[in-house]
Structure 1
Amino acid sequence: MRRKLLSIAILMIAGIVTTEWIDLQVWWLLPFLCLILFSFFCNISKQQKFFRCLLLSFCTGCLLLSYTNYSAEHGQLFQQIGKPSVLSATVTGVEQLDEENYKLHCNVDGERLLCSYYHSMNEYWNLIGCEITFTTAVARPKPAGNPRTFDYALYLKTKKTFFTAVIDGYQVAANDPSFTDKIKRFILTKREKLMEQLRVDSAVKGFIKGVLFGDTDSLEEDIYKEFQKNGTAHILAVSGLHVGILYGLYRKAIGRRKSPFMTGLFCLLLAIYGTATLWSISVTRAIFLIVLILLGNLWDRRYDTATALAAAALLIVIDNPYAVMGASFQMSFLAVLSLIFFSPLLEKKFCSTLSVMISVQLGLMPYIAYNFNYISFIGILCNIPVVFMISLLVPVGIAGFLWFSITEQLFPLLSDCLNGLGTFVIEINRFFAADGMFSFDVVSPPLWGICLLYGLIFLISSEHFRIYFKRKAFRLLIPQTGFMILMVIFSFSAWFTPFDRAAIIFVDVGQGDCIHMKCDDGRNLLFDGGGNRNYNIGEKTLKPYLLKNGIGTVELAAATHLHTDHYLGLRQLSECFDVKRLLTKGRAGQRIVLNKTQWIDILWPEEQNPDVDDENLNSLIFKIHSHGVSALITGDITEEGERALVEKYKGTTVLQSDILKVAHHGSPYSTSDTFLDAVKPTVAVISVGKNNYGHPSNVVIEKLRKKGIMVFRTDQSGAVGIINRKGNITICTKNQ
């Protein structure tokens, strides 16, 4: 069986993913692992040994992730969570997000800590390798607040970081960097000074920095979105394309000659470039494959891309098993696999360059639809001129970087060349973007569907399938087919979430309210949408939440009132998503009928007064009815508004509700005893995020608990779902 290492790598990755998805400790596998190792010394066939080797790989993947989690939970930083303490750390990297926002990557006795620093810094790269001391309270990064959305905590784990902190200041205890830190500091110093001295437009400079070094922090958001929607954003993440361009120039320069000196020199160039790009996963993978090609040519060894790819994957996941969960790893390796499987078939119809582009685009399209929720139908066509121009910009930029590193002088006409090439790429990409005419937002397909699609595509396009199919040796395809079916079944169970059964979901939008109601006929309603003047909640929180949970249309978006943290998110969502109706006005007595068992009553106000100064007095109060379960949506009403409601509905059961959305994020000026006695909720949900108002009040929380009301907070539990099981209420939460 060829390419055994690829099968071993796939099984190890499967073990890692399985352990992460089922969230179990698998130390019980150790005796089983020892038994497998012992069996290798028994008298069994080679095929039996190989299948046991695959089982060993799966178990190893499980144990790798379990050990990583065990180490994080039994280290020094875990013991310091929430406790102000003085720490000593070595700075391994610094990211500048803006002039007063930096991320310091620190090593604390072998553990990684990501520190946020909100002050200005001069020549921040000189901090690399320094030992610093600071006082802070270690924290765990907040996981995703809503189902199936981006998980920042998991993202940091792909960077081998389990803990974060905010530091207000630090002292440099020692400035004695190691040899490798000195090299890193030197290269990054030259990189930043080069970018400072380039005389180009600021928008183009941010683009050039992204193309050459993979740093998109200074790239304008609109430009990045255009590249993303066109399927050309891969040029902004240094990957096989960039390294391949350099390798192509190297091959043209030396021809068929075998020169150990030139090979070593080119490897040195790749090491410098890898350091300048901070050794992202895609760069590590690409450079590793190129080095293997170089060594194979030098030693007359046969090179197999799939086997080399498997070796690169094994090295990365052994170093950090969580790397498998990152989009960088997934896209990088998926792109190369697409080339391996699809290019030989497409080259029969197209030229090699075009077949490569088509292979990568087709291979990544389902993944992009699932993970990033868009499809570009112009991507293949747009990539042709863009990649061609990048093949000119990259060598010019790298040559200029090397020249500057040696002479500290800009290469003659470098600024003009880079400005011209960068501007041309941006403009041609903008031309193909055509204001989004050829790209479309899509809901995420189910994970099991993606696994099934990729499994079938790679199986049918594989060399083994073609050979066995021609020989009609279908029995030999049983192991691959069985593994594919097993992964599809497993991904189906892993993809499912209790929120799929919830009829009402309190969405985590930070400091703000958002309630999502599902109708039996597939329609979806939102009540409030959060909002933040410094962050687009509608586009960056609500839209991903909806698309990733299979929702492409919102039938009704209703705002209780027009305050930023309730209305702004809905308005932003309506600008980038299909919102059929936006409701901001209403009066008591109105009813929105959805079907026989689901409807919405507006309980307040009796009349909206446009002259009132306090917007909370005009707040719409909704009561949701869904199959016998009711939820009261109270906006930001104060005790004065609560008294008015109690008085209006005195002697009735109108206010009585199973679920209470606690008013004004748990403010002490709402949620009176009289109001709680009238509502009689069994569950109270406080929609709240990080704030400076003291929300929620401990007085309110204690009041609710004394009355026997279950309390849930979105800042602690994430999204809160209400599941109605034939009149019995079940609560599901995202994080607790």
Structure 2
Amino acid sequence: MLSGHGDPAPGRPGRGASAPGPTGPGLTGPGLTGPDLTEPGLTGPGLAEPDRFEPGPAVRPSVRPAVHAASGKRLGAANPRQEGPVDLRLVPPALAAWATAALTTVASPGRVVGLVAVCLLAVGALLITGRRQAGRAGGRRGRATAAASLLCVAAAAASAGLHGADLRRGPVPELAREYATVTAEVELTSDPRPTRPRVRGDRVTPDSVLIDAEVRRVEGAGRAAVATRTPVLMLVTVGSRGSKGRDGKPAGPGARQVPGRRAPGGASASWGRSASGASWLGLLPSTRLRVTGRLVPPLSDGDRIAAVLRVRDRAGPPVVGEASGAQRLAGRLRAGLRSATDGLPADARALLPGLVVGDTSRITPELDEAFKATDLAHTLAVSGSNLTIVLALLLGPPGLAQHVERRGLAPRLGVPLRATALLGGALTLGFVVVCRPDPSVLRAAACGAIVLLALATGRRRSLIPALACAVLLLVLYDPWLARSYGFLLSVLATGALLTLAPRWSAALRRRRVPPRLAEALAAAAAAQAVCAPVVAMLSARVSLVAVPCNLLVEFALAPATALGFAVLVTAPVASPAAEALAWCASWPAGWIAAVARAGAALPGGGVDWPGSWGGAFLLALLTGGLVLLGRRLSRHPWLCAVCGVLLLLAVVRPPPLTRVLTGWPPPGWRLAMCDVGQGDATVLAAGDGAGVVVDAGPDPVLVDRCLRELGITRVPLVVLTHFHADHVAGLPGVLRGRAVGAIQTTGFEEPADQVTFVRKAAQARGVPLARAVAGERRRLGALDWEVLWPPPDPAPRPEGPNDASVTLLVRVGGLRMLLLGDLEPPAQQALSRSAAAPLVQNVDVLKVAHHGSAYQDPELIRAVAPRLALISCGADNPYGHPAPGTVAALRAGGARVLRTDRDGALAVGTGTDGELRVTRG
């Protein structure tokens, strides 16, 4: 089929020709994570070698340069026509513009004007010099490149300077410096997105909504209303969480706050379930609101916003202007996609909208962490891969896009070549509207537009110049992209796929690796190698399973995305058909989620790494060394096999091998205190692979990692001493992948939101809840424990959750261990006067109450007289835990004091002589 084009024109390849055409519209690379880790680019097997040419017997690769040189033409005289050397002329101007934009967005106007003037003068000098040396061809090319770079520097400086000045002008920045309360009319420029609540001290931060917006009109106290157009970030508080505390713990919105860990699992699941929260999440871009809130300055000068507008929701969003028609249509399409996926399994229901349009509202924190741990987070964000898959359906494989005998829907429907390009442009525009004009979507669309232009004009373009052109245009259009890590990762992934991946793929094929596997493996490895240093700097972690996980999901991404777009288009007109398509898409989507969960569950799936530019540079050097070493090792298959086995062992970490190499966990350990930061999580050994967990800490990732390192697969009982977030928020990490018998809690059910969280987490896993009461005694093998506090009906009523903490006396292997939870002096004194007082005297191990705070009862410390005192607290916590006075009192009583903020995880056992033995993890 000739698709209406007739016979091939002279010099143009016909049937069987192997000349490549322009490839797909964007680039994507596996292994990318971070705050905006979406990337434009090209993907697919046809992209690994954009200039692939299989020579006949008379044309050998070694003589290609000679063929080009003899022809005197850049494309050569071969038939099919063959690309010559890569055109790098646009690369220096693009890099120069990028660097300039990154530096001048925050520069003063005087410096920007001076830089532009210097560049223009330098260009003039180059032109004058060029006229005097007109006969030197090499000099002409160098001067032209230098002049182009200087002009791009001037243009980037001017654009960045104007953007920066525009951000700083008007009344909003001044009002933000005064922390003024204002009434503003704002227009939304992005979808509302929920924040993940974070644990700070003993509480969880309030539920909030983040929305990018533009202030169109603002009026402050004593100020007249002023029309403006200033970008801000709206932070809308739609809920309130808090608890009163002592010794400096924050007790409300005005208290001192420090960065905390993300509240996991169901701690954020309740967010947005209120009518108010749902109404904010349902807003569309271009909607206008009239809100009252406080303006505050942004965190840094390099932000693309002039201020943060803090709004406390009272009765839902006050809408004064509806969204545009295009945005309402896009909203209906996205809502139809969500509705069609409602009946799918949980993972597929959450993933499919994310794969198609970047809607991650259903992604649970647990699944989100799994995607980040395996460097699969880029699949959940709209990027070049999404647009590539959509256009591939229209154009066919990217490598055949300009052939007379194309594939795809367009040639099958008889659509001419240039009309196909116009149709692709319309599809790209629709893609931007539906997926929202976020920076990542715009980057993907820009790359697609360049390739579609090449298709429409019938001109071939090398991919490196196309990438440089996209970078240049995007940086000039939006200079703030030059300071975006997401943009940096996009370009790095793109460059890796265009430069390293084809060479690595060819090397693998020479070693008899199947072509498709070689291309996929080379693309994944190249993108990971180039992007890993930046990702490590952002996440302070290096994934060892990123490449295999990306390979395993690669074949599922295209069908899941293609079927997802079919659901998107079908849902408004044929709901049953959309649901059937969604059911089909759930299979590849479920596979992607399963790979992410399995990779994240591997004990050695990642290693901690310095999160700084120094750490990134060190990882880049290490990666380069490994690449050079890999080239040498590839000549020795047995050495490669040995290295592969060693890497597999490092990732899987079989417990017997880990124990031999690291000494953790030590044999015969009885009690382990996990290092979970500012919180509590203690494990009591209860047999082979079993442990009783007392408190879960503030972070599910940390407690899950601790339990995996200890080899705990069964948890007969979880004891939650009280409901503060730093003791219960990590519960999903304890429940993850383990058989849990029951959860036992205190009877003092405050704060209410954390009580609800625990109940829902237990209900979701079918784990029964029980109440611990003083006098209760249980035994599990050699492990014996007794509940000492709280009494069934305490009088007077406890002042707060801390004084109602479940207190345990544990006996195992000849050791007596007292776990005090967060008891404060009133409850400690009551315990000393209770019938259990004789039981707590002269114990071997004491889990010090309340992270070693200053609020301790000296009489109880003297009565307990522990040989070993363990304190669980976070490094550099803002509360001063543990208090020096508490540590001194414990040491004065003869106790050895160890703390997780300095000593890490701790395991306690006994030696053959009965002496306490402590091992640091």
Pair 1:358–1:248, CA change in 2 (3 A): farther
1:76 maps to which residue? 171
1:711 maps to which residue? none
Per-residue CA deviations over 1:358-384 (Å, capped at 9, x if unaligned) read: 322222223222322333333333323
1:89 equivalent to 2:194? Answer no
Pair 1:127–1:13, CA change in 2 (3 A): closer
- Please give the alpha-carbon distance, in whole angstroms, between the structure 2 residues aligned to 1:300 and 1:207: 38
- Please give the alpha-carbon distance, in whole angstroms, between the structure 1 residues aligned to 2:579 and 2:857: 72
1:131 equivalent to 2:288? Answer yes
- Please give the alpha-carbon distance, in whole angstroms, between the structure 1 residues aligned to 2:501 and 2:168: 45
Residue 313 of structure 2 aligns with an amino acid whose one-letter code is D
2:95 maps to which residue? 10
1:113 equivalent to 2:198? Answer no
Superposed, which structure 2 residues align to 1:23-422 within 5 Å? 25=108, 27-42=110-125, 43-45=128-130, 46=140, 47-58=142-153, 61=156, 64-81=159-176, 82-97=179-194, 101-109=208-216, 110-117=229-236, 118=238, 119-122=276-279, 125=282, 128-142=285-299, 157=303, 160=305, 162-169=307-314, 172=318, 174-175=320-321, 177=323, 181-198=324-341, 199-250=343-394, 251=396, 252-253=407-408, 254=410, 258-349=416-507, 350=509, 351=515, 352-407=519-574, 410-411=577-578, 413-422=580-589
Pair 1:664–1:41, CA change in 2 (3 A): closer
Superposed, which structure 2 residues align to 1:599-638 within 5 Å? 614-615=824-825, 637=854
Check conservation: 1:531, 1:537, Cα contact below 8 A.
yes
* Structure 1, unpaired ranges of 5+: 144-152, 462-525, 544-561, 576-607, 620-633, 642-659, 666-670, 672-736
1:592 maps to which residue? none
- Please give the alpha-carbon distance, in whole angstroms, between the structure 2 residues aligned to 1:564 and 1:72: 45
- Please give the alpha-carbon distance, in whole angstroms, between the structure 1 residues aligned to 2:354 and 2:382: 8
Task: Give the CA deviation at 1:335.
Answer: 0.6
Check conservation: 2:340, 2:571, Cα contact below 8 A.
no
Pair 1:272–1:452, CA change in 2 (3 A): same
- Please give the alpha-carbon distance, in whole angstroms, between the structure 1 residues aligned to 2:570 and 2:374: 33
- Please give the alpha-carbon distance, in whole angstroms, between the structure 1 residues aligned to 2:472 and 2:121: 23
Per-residue CA deviations over 1:322-351 (Å, capped at 9, x if unaligned) read: 323333212221110111220231132243
Check conservation: 2:567, 2:582, Cα contact below 8 A.
no
Pair 1:39–1:427, CA change in 2 (3 A): closer
Task: Give the CA deviation at 1:186.
Answer: 1.1
Per-residue CA deviations over 1:418-473 (Å, capped at 9, x if unaligned) read: 22232233224434x17224522221275256458769999xx9xxxxxxxxxxxx
- Please give the alpha-carbon distance, in whole angstroms, between the structure 2 residues aligned to 1:612 and 1:564: 11
1:442 maps to which residue? 608
Check conservation: 1:609, 1:618, Cα contact below 8 A.
no
State how many pairs are aligned. 512
Pair 1:78–1:563, CA change in 2 (3 A): farther
Task: Give the CA deviation at 1:292.
Answer: 1.7
- Could you say what secondary structure the match of 1:3 adopts? coil
Pair 1:426–1:280, CA change in 2 (3 A): same
- Could you say what secondary structure the match of 1:217 adopts? coil
Per-residue CA deviations over 1:148-194 (Å, capped at 9, x if unaligned) read: xxxxx86xx35x564232142577564354xxx32022112221232
Per-residue CA deviations over 1:545-580 (Å, capped at 9, x if unaligned) read: xxxxxxxxxxxxxxxxx99999769999x99xxxxx
Task: Give the CA deviation at 1:404.
Answer: 2.1
Check conservation: 1:616, 1:636, Cα contact below 8 A.
no
Out of 311-320 and 184-193, give the one that drifted further. Answer: 311-320
Residue 425 of structure 1 aligns with an amino acid whose one-letter code is I
Pair 1:566–1:437, CA change in 2 (3 A): closer
Pair 1:611–1:531, CA change in 2 (3 A): closer
Check conservation: 1:343, 1:355, Cα contact below 8 A.
yes
Pair 1:437–1:80, CA change in 2 (3 A): same
- Please give the alpha-carbon distance, in whole angstroms, between the structure 2 residues aligned to 1:435 and 1:111: 45
- Could you say what secondary structure the match of 1:136 adopts? strand
Pair 1:317–1:161, CA change in 2 (3 A): farther
Check conservation: 1:616, 1:638, Cα contact below 8 A.
no
- Could you say what secondary structure the match of 1:398 adopts? helix
Check conservation: 2:185, 2:288, Cα contact below 8 A.
yes
Residue 13 of structure 1 aligns with an amino acid whose one-letter code is W
Check conservation: 1:292, 1:303, Cα contact below 8 A.
no
Check conservation: 2:700, 2:729, Cα contact below 8 A.
no
Whose Rg is larger?
2
Pair 1:300–1:451, CA change in 2 (3 A): farther
Check conservation: 2:295, 2:310, Cα contact below 8 A.
yes
Check conservation: 2:336, 2:572, Cα contact below 8 A.
no
Pair 1:542–1:161, CA change in 2 (3 A): farther
2:4 maps to which residue? none
Task: Give the CA deviation at 1:662.
Answer: 9.3
- Please give the alpha-carbon distance, in whole angstroms, between the structure 2 residues aligned to 1:399 and 1:570: 39
Pair 1:421–1:60, CA change in 2 (3 A): same
Pair 1:413–1:28, CA change in 2 (3 A): closer
Pair 1:141–1:408, CA change in 2 (3 A): farther
Check conservation: 1:40, 1:49, Cα contact below 8 A.
no
Task: Give the CA deviation at 1:211.
Answer: 1.1
2:20 maps to which residue? none
- Could you say what secondary structure the match of 1:444 adopts? coil
- Could you say what secondary structure the match of 1:111 adopts? strand
Check conservation: 1:113, 1:165, Cα contact below 8 A.
no
Check conservation: 1:136, 1:167, Cα contact below 8 A.
yes
- Please give the alpha-carbon distance, in whole angstroms, between the structure 2 residues aligned to 1:452 and 1:98: 33
- Please give the alpha-carbon distance, in whole angstroms, between the structure 2 residues aligned to 1:662 and 1:171: 35
Task: Give the CA deviation at 1:661.
Answer: 10
Pair 1:241–1:108, CA change in 2 (3 A): same
Residue 138 of structure 1 aligns with an amino acid whose one-letter code is L
Task: Give the CA deviation at 1:412.
Answer: 5.9
Pair 1:291–1:320, CA change in 2 (3 A): closer
Pair 1:208–1:41, CA change in 2 (3 A): same
Task: Give the CA deviation at 1:115.
Answer: 2.3
- Please give the alpha-carbon distance, in whole angstroms, between the structure 2 residues aligned to 1:233 and 1:617: 47
- Please give the alpha-carbon distance, in whole angstroms, between the structure 1 residues aligned to 2:562 and 2:428: 13
* Structure 2, unpaired ranges of 5+: 1-85, 131-139, 197-206, 217-228, 239-275, 397-406, 510-514, 628-673, 682-694, 705-720, 735-817, 830-850, 859-875, 886-921
- Please give the alpha-carbon distance, in whole angstroms, between the structure 2 residues aligned to 1:541 and 1:111: 41
Per-residue CA deviations over 1:573-597 (Å, capped at 9, x if unaligned) read: x99xxxxxxxxxxxxxxxxxxxxxx
